[in-house]
Structure 1
Amino acid sequence: MEENLTFIEGAEQPLSMHPKKFALWLFIVSVVMVFAGMTSAYIVRQGEGNWLEFDLPNIFWYTSGIIVLSSISLQWAYSSAKKDSFNNLKIGLLITLVLGIAFLVGQWYSWEALVAEDVYFVGNPSGSFMYVFTGLHAIHLISGVIFLIIVLISALRNEIHSQKLAQLEMCVTFWHFLGGLWLYLFMFLLLNH
């Protein structure tokens, strides 16, 4: 009997992850695969010729700065939650939400800039790729903004604190991923345009 107790006490804990976090990571991996496929298709199609050359909208520089600032503000909110600094948590989430919406508005203006250059969704494949890249990213960012609103509501209800961070951690992970994805797309377009 004593041997069994020793064996049970010495048993290793299996690696585990919160099921919702695991689902989030599966979703992130699938999005990475989609964008990796799309950027590969871009390079292949560009090499075939009949490729319209145009300048990237300057607003991409601003939206890139906005997305970086939004990641910083969300990380500050997360650090504040770990310290149970509820006001800073709420302020950080609100700043991130406003910056996320500003990013989406900036993307809309980037489409207007493309139209002003006579670059349309239908027509040359280079324009189509531009709209698909930015549009698909915008759809994911809209889901991130919705997630931020849900987390902000939880924070306003004081449901997020140092002992209950799973929802916020998932939001932070997803938001940082979206920021990194945008920076990847922007750098990719700068280098391959």
Structure 2
Amino acid sequence: MSAIVLFIATIAAIAGWWLSQQRLAAKPWLEQGVAVDLRGDRGSSVPAAKIGLGVFLAVVGSLFALLISAYSMRTTMADWRELPLPKLLWFNTGVLVISSVALQWALMAARREDSDGLIVGLLIGGASAVMFLTGQLVVWQQLKIAGYVVASNPANSFFYLITALHGLHVTGGLVALGRTTAKVWRGAPMAQLRLSVELCTIYWHFLLLVWLVLLGLLTGWTDNFVDICRQLLS
């Protein structure tokens, strides 16, 4: 239960910071010298696509929070037997970090209107994401060869479910990233590309955060972190 509280608190903090950056609470009609058309959407400083992404991430975050809650409750039962995590998971985590950093680089390049840096960042980010998914499949194969199949233990089932669900969202992100990269190759205006790259980057950072929480859950690190926080606050 402590893991889900930590996850929700982290998501809420990031969501609050993100919303504060979007000027959702701004009242432009009260600002002197600013003409605002209240009949249209031009008074909004937040693109509809960005608001839609925020809603989608809130839904996905709730889904993973429920999964984390179920995992935490299931570990207390007598038939739960931990499975050894392959070391390749740490390499996959590093690759996902590289992918997220590459997309942040692409976003910075888009803001500088640097088309070369933009395409390099997108390609590295996409290639790293594909490598991450490939590494996750290799992890599955290693566990299967070692006898840790899905139906043999609840811990195994949860591991495959968690990694598959996260991998599915990474795959969906790759589709959006591919469309954005195609726009770059077609020579779309930089103003249009900037929003697409920003949405992909936000989504990628979210997936990285979710994966780090899930990895901490699978390794037991989140429980240790919560215990340390309790000791410091007591």
Answer whether TM exceeds 0.5 for this pair.
Answer: yes
Go from structure 1 to structure 2 and tell me whether the alpha carbon gap of 1:122 and 1:39 turns closer, same or farther (over 3 Å shift). Answer: same
Go from structure 1 to structure 2 and tell me whether the alpha carbon gap of 1:148 and 1:190 turns closer, same or farther (over 3 Å shift). Answer: same
Q: Tell me the matched-pair count.
A: 188
1:62 is matched with 91
2:107 is matched with 78
CA–CA separation in structure 1 for the residues paired with 2:76 and 2:179: 44
Secondary structure of the corresponding residue to residue 122 of structure 1: helix
TM superposition score normalised by structure 2: 0.74
1 or 2 for the larger relative contact order (CA 8 Å, sep ≥6)? 1
CA–CA separation in structure 2 for the residues paired with 1:176 and 1:7: 35
Which one of 155, 161, 172 corresponds to residue 143 of structure 1? Answer: 172
CA–CA separation in structure 1 for the residues paired with 2:145 and 2:186: 45
Which one of 50, 60, 64 corresponds to residue 31 of structure 1? Answer: 60
1:90 equivalent to 2:122? Answer no
> How far does residue 7 in structure 1 lie from its aligned partner after superposition?
7.8
1:114 equivalent to 2:143? Answer yes
Alignment root-mean-square deviation, CA: 2.3
2:213 is matched with 184
Matched to 1:93, the amino acid is L
* C-alpha contact 2:109 2:117 (8 A) present in aligned 1: yes
> How far does residue 17 in structure 1 lie from its aligned partner after superposition?
2.3
> How far does residue 158 in structure 1 lie from its aligned partner after superposition?
2.4
In structure 1, stretches of 5+ residues that fail to align are 1-5
Go from structure 1 to structure 2 and tell me whether the alpha carbon gap of 1:130 and 1:89 turns closer, same or farther (over 3 Å shift). Answer: same
CA–CA separation in structure 2 for the residues paired with 1:11 and 1:157: 37
Q: Please list, as runs of the form range in 1=range in 2, the aligned pairs for 1:41-56 lying within 5 A after superposition.
A: 41-56=70-85
Q: Please list, as runs of the form range in 1=range in 2, the aligned pairs for 1:95-174 lying within 5 A after superposition.
A: 95-161=124-190, 164-174=193-203
Tell me whether 20-29 or 153-162 shows the greater mean CA deviation. 153-162
> How far does residue 120 in structure 1 lie from its aligned partner after superposition?
1.5
CA–CA separation in structure 2 for the residues paired with 1:35 and 1:118: 27
Go from structure 1 to structure 2 and tell me whether the alpha carbon gap of 1:85 and 1:42 turns closer, same or farther (over 3 Å shift). Answer: same
Tell me whether 64-73 or 117-126 shows the greater mean CA deviation. 117-126
Secondary structure of the corresponding residue to residue 89 of structure 1: helix
% identity of equivalent residues = 32
TM superposition score normalised by structure 1: 0.89
CA–CA separation in structure 2 for the residues paired with 1:122 and 1:30: 28
Which structure 1 residue ranges, 4+ long, deviate > 4 Å from structure 2? 6-16
> How far does residue 103 in structure 1 lie from its aligned partner after superposition?
0.3
